Amino acid sequence: MLKLIATRAILGLATLFAVSVLIFVCTQFLPGDVAAAVLQQSATKETLAAFRRELGLDVPAYIRFFDWLWRALHGDLGVALTNGRVIIDVIRPRFANTMFLAGYAAIISVPLSVGLGIVAAINEGRPIDRISNIITLMTISVPEFFVGYVLIAIFTVELGLFPSLATVDSDTGFFDRIYATTLPALTLTLLVAAHMLRMTRTSVLSVMSSPYIEMAFLKGLTRSRVVAHHALPNAAAPIITVVALNLAYLVVGVVVVEAVFTYPGIGQLMVDAVTKRDVPVIQACGLVFAAVFVGLNTIADILAILVNPRLKYRR
């Protein structure tokens, strides 16, 4: 089993490498190149060539790739084209902000949706399941910003409870931070929880239709014992996968929610960079998001291996 886990971890690293290649290759398609994009029409041939040398664009792409990757591994993500700031310094606090918001939302949404998903599954077809089906279907159908603005309309405009702009900086204390990010966290929670609830329900249901569940009922066990002892241990692996998938979704959903609440996270940074076509920043943000995403999926796979008795105890 150790071997399986190691294989999975190495696969995660390999994926991350492949992803970085992909990100790098994409940015090579930039019409003209970075130098032309920065200097625009004003550049003469000579200044363009000089600037290219300065940026190292005259060496082959693969060398630039390994150079970029090597530096990135050492925390050097380069310099922003538009304002010349060191990217890692810009990203670090914003990354922390994003993780704070995502973490806040995860702490509420994971227990809530897994719990309700299980309840819905074991009450399949009953009113509580149908109601939860309709509500979650509505919630997953609406865009993030709709939920965000409705929450603002209710909690800020009508009730005056929370601010509509989630402004935080490095000096903001923990509780002020919680207060400022409640609405964005709630927005994320509503969206992710609905997805997670539905997927949890499906996973539990597929276990509930196994013959060994029927056997457990035929042994005269109570419904709660059947669920706790026979259904849930087997639903654990799929539920873990569901949670990981949704946490990854959460980290991405953050991009739009940050825009709604103008929250200074890495998503906002990336959107700004795309608007200004600041390629090094785009690359850096893309890499960070990809690393979080791949990391979460790898951890989920490893956990799923750990809880699977077929893999734990070989023949």
* Contacts to another protein from residues 19-78, by CB under 8 A: 19, 22-23, 26-27, 29-31
Q: How far is the CB of 74 from another protein (least distance, A)?
A: 22
**What is the identity of the amino acid at 93?**
P
Task: State yes or no: residue 297 binds another protein (CB under 8 A).
Answer: yes
Task: State yes or no: residue 144 binds another protein (CB under 8 A).
Answer: yes
Helix axes 279-307, 61-73, angle to 10 degrees: 60
Identify the residue among 36, 256, 302, 306 touching another protein (CB under 8 A): 256
CB within 8 Å of 312: residues ≥ 6 apart: 1, 306
Query: Under rule CB under 8 A, how many of the chain's residues touch another protein?
Result: 86
Residues 213, 207 contacting (CB under 8 angstroms) = yes
Of residues 273 through 292, those in contact with another protein by CB under 8 A are 273-275, 277-279, 282-283, 285-286, 289-290
Task: State yes or no: residue 182 binds another protein (CB under 8 A).
Answer: no
Q: Which stretch binds another protein (CB under 8 A): 1-9, 67-75, 100-108, 207-215?
A: 207-215
H-type alpha helices, 261-278: 266-276
Identify the residue among 221, 303, 305, 306 touching another protein (CB under 8 A): 221
**What is the identity of the amino acid at 101?**
L
Torsion of CA 235, 239, 240, 243, to 10 degrees: -170
Q: Which stretch binds another protein (CB under 8 A): 51-59, 84-92, 130-138, 238-246?
A: 130-138
Identify the residue among 208, 239, 240, 242 touching another protein (CB under 8 A): 208
3 burial via Cβ count (<10 Å: 0-12, 13-18, 19+): exposed
